[in-house]
Amino acid sequence: MRFAVNHLAPFALTQSLLPLLDRGAPTRVVNIASIGQAPIDFDDPTLEHDYSGMRAYGQSKLAMIATGLLLARQLHPHRVTVNSLHPATFMPTRMVLDSVGYSIDSLEDGLQATLRLILAPELDGMTGQFYDRTRAAKAHADA
């Protein structure tokens, strides 16, 4: 379920919107990912053995980044860019507060990092990148 919600649904939506995005060029795809990425065990991709919610989350975010990198290579960077973002750490959302019990960054921090990738003129044509908040960063090597 986590893989479907965190990766497959945004991937399917992006694929469906590509003709419109290209028509409206220049446009930007921003995948909300995480620094909490985990390698995918292709011998057990659905985690039937030793399931962990955090591992499922991390695998879904790694898959999102990996497919974003692939899509970025397939699209003209002056028409549609594709980048992934870790917007903030433990924002005070219900999911975080219920599972972790505390927040580190604010919702405003995450919003500003996301808006930067959507709107910043200095990022025109920049594609195939992973950002930790507002800084370029390295995604997990498996991505």
**For residues 30 and 126, what is the distance between their CA atoms, to the nearest angstrom?**
12
Quick: pLDDT tens for 43-69. Answer: 998 899 989 888 999 999 999 999 999
Residue 85 three-state SS: strand
Is 111 domain-assigned?
A: yes
Q: What does the chain come to in residues?
A: 143
23: CATH = 3.40.50.720
The domain containing residue 19 runs over which residues?
2-137
By mean pLDDT, which of 3-17, 55-69, 94-108, 118-132 is the weakest?
94-108
Give the DSSP letter of residue 107: H
pLDDT of the residue at 107 = 80
Q: Indicate the number of domains in the chain.
A: 1
Is 130 domain-assigned?
A: yes
Quick: pLDDT tens for 17-31. Answer: 999 999 999 999 999
Answer whether residue 103 shows pLDDT above 80. no
Is 142 domain-assigned?
A: no
Cα separations (Å) of 75 from 7, 11, 26, 83, 143? 19, 15, 11, 12, 18
> Can you tell me the mean pLDDT for 112-130?
97
Answer whether residue 102 shows pLDDT above 70. no
Cα separations (Å) of 45 from 4, 6, 34, 49? 12, 15, 19, 10
The model's pTM is 0.89
Answer whether residue 12 shows pLDDT above 60. yes
